[in-house]
Amino acid sequence: MNQHFSATVQPAAETRTPEDVVRLTDVKRRFGATAALDGVSLRVRKGEILGIIGRSGAGKSTLIRCLNGLERPDFGEIFIEGRDIARLGERELQPLRRRIGMIFQHFNLLSAKTVEDNVALPLKIEGRPKAERLHRAAELLELVGLSAKAKAYPASLSGGQKQRVGVARALAARPALLLSDEATSALDPETTRSILALLKDINRQLGLTILSITHEMEVIRSIADRVAVIDAGRIVEAGPVWSVFANPQSRITQSLLGGIRPQLPDEIAASLSASAGKEAILRIDVAGEAASRPLLSDLATSIPGSFRLIHGGIDHIQQQPVGSLFLGVPTGADHVARVIDFLAGRGARVEVLGYVAGND
């Protein structure tokens, strides 16, 4: 019964530019009969935050392991700063690995070392002198707002503080890329927001390139510039966050967005029927220019006949208005068709969700 009236948002073309920090081309990795990665192509440009989202088992961990050289792809190219890590030997991989800082869901701090020693650890591994290590650790602890905890041990820190230490440690060796592996999945919503704000801040201040792997759309929404959706080892959709949120093309993206996009209230959804009733229930998605105009007041003046606003609103993602509205529109004559034509003509995406008996 669902009818769509929409313009298609195409995934960004995966061509290479000198500004790419990461570029994957047709990367494949199988485990027996399972294709964990089934031809993944993507790129991360210098200074951008790319979010990769997928459900459990989609291939995210395999992708991370391929990026940091812990796993070798069966096929394809993985360029980090212009060098194909899939073809490097273990010795050549070491310096390249240091170009990647990582933060983890469970922080992975060393409990027997102080906060400053944890932060300085990558520099110790590089053989840097102690004075330089401590200076850099102090600098980074200030950046993440934890100078006062330099001599503390991880056990005395909250989850959010531990992740701040994790971020500082990941930045110690001045990486070209920060790889975030579900970095906020173990944190409460408020702490999650503060860590995401920190990452965004670091991205802006230092121009740091970030690849964030997550199963939470909220993470993508808060920090990413672009998003790639992975499912069964394939990138099924990619594009600027606001446009993917405004017009998700694949079922999996729609389902991952389900929790944070406005939905028809349950009591109305329960009374929907596929056969025409007195009132059609429309879902209207608008973004950009279409969401900036007085859509509903223009509808009311252009198409005489009542409609009711059931639910919805306009959000702002990457400074772009993106919204979903649910309208009840009386059936009869060609009224619903005229309302749909008007809205589609204004650049809105309209879906007839079904019909309800309507108010007498």
Ligand X SMILES: Nc1ncnc2c1ncn2[C@@H]1O[C@H](COP(=O)(O)OP(=O)(O)OP(=O)(O)O)[C@@H](O)[C@H]1O
Nearer to ligand X among residue 68 and residue 263 (C-beta): 68
Joined together, the tokens standing for residue 320 give 């772009």
Query: What backbone phi and psi angles, to 5 degrees, belong to 121?
Result: -55, -45
Closest approach of ligand X to the CB of residue 86, in Å: 17
Part in contact with ligand X (CB under 6 A); list of ranges 20-28, 52-60, 106-114, 116-124: 52-60
Closest approach of ligand X to the CB of residue 32, in Å: 6
Part in contact with ligand X (CB under 6 A); list of ranges 55-63, 159-167, 172-180, 241-249: 55-63
Nearest to 21 by CA among 203, 237, 201, 166: 203
Q: Which of 62, 214, 222, 253 binds ligand X (CB under 6 A)?
A: 62
Nearer to ligand X among residue 54 and residue 321 (C-beta): 54
Part in contact with ligand X (CB under 6 A); list of ranges 54-62, 170-178, 201-209, 258-266: 54-62
Element (H, E) at 221: helix 217-223
Joined together, the tokens standing for residue 212 give 């964030």
Part in contact with ligand X (CB under 6 A); list of ranges 56-64, 92-100, 255-263, 335-343: 56-64
Q: Does 6 bind ligand X (CB under 6 A)?
A: no
DSSP 273: B
- Angstrom distance (rounded) from CA 175 to CA 265: 46
Q: Do 188 and 12 touch, CB atoms closer than 8 A?
A: no
Nearer to ligand X among residue 187 and residue 282 (C-beta): 187
Q: Which of 40, 44, 58, 228 binds ligand X (CB under 6 A)?
A: 58
Closest approach of ligand X to the CB of residue 230, in Å: 7
Q: Which of 27, 36, 282, 287 binds ligand X (CB under 6 A)?
A: 36
Q: Spell out, one character per residue from 155 to 194, where the chain touches ligand X: x when CB under 6 A holds, - when not.
A: ----------------------------------------
Considering only residues 252 through 311, tell me which ones interact with ligand X, judged by CB under 6 A: none
Query: What backbone phi and psi angles, to 5 degrees, belong to 82?
Result: 85, 0
Joined together, the tokens standing for residue 125 give 């591994």
Q: Do 104 and 178 touch, CB atoms closer than 8 A?
A: no
Q: Do 225 and 201 touch, CB atoms closer than 8 A?
A: no
- Angstrom distance (rounded) from CA 185 to CA 132: 33
- Size of residue set near ligand X by CB under 6 A: 12
Considering only residues 196 through 215, tell me which ones interact with ligand X, judged by CB under 6 A: 215
* Torsional sign, CA 61, 210, 119, 134: positive
Closest approach of ligand X to the CB of residue 74, in Å: 13
Compute, in degrees rounded to 10, the torsion defined by CA atoms 297, 298, 301, 306: -60
Residue 142's region, left for phi above 0, alpha for psi from -120 to 50, else beta, is alpha
Closest approach of ligand X to the CB of residue 217, in Å: 14
Q: Does 34 bind ligand X (CB under 6 A)?
A: yes
- The residues that touch ligand X, with contacts defined as CB under 6 A, are 31, 34, 36, 54, 56-62, 215
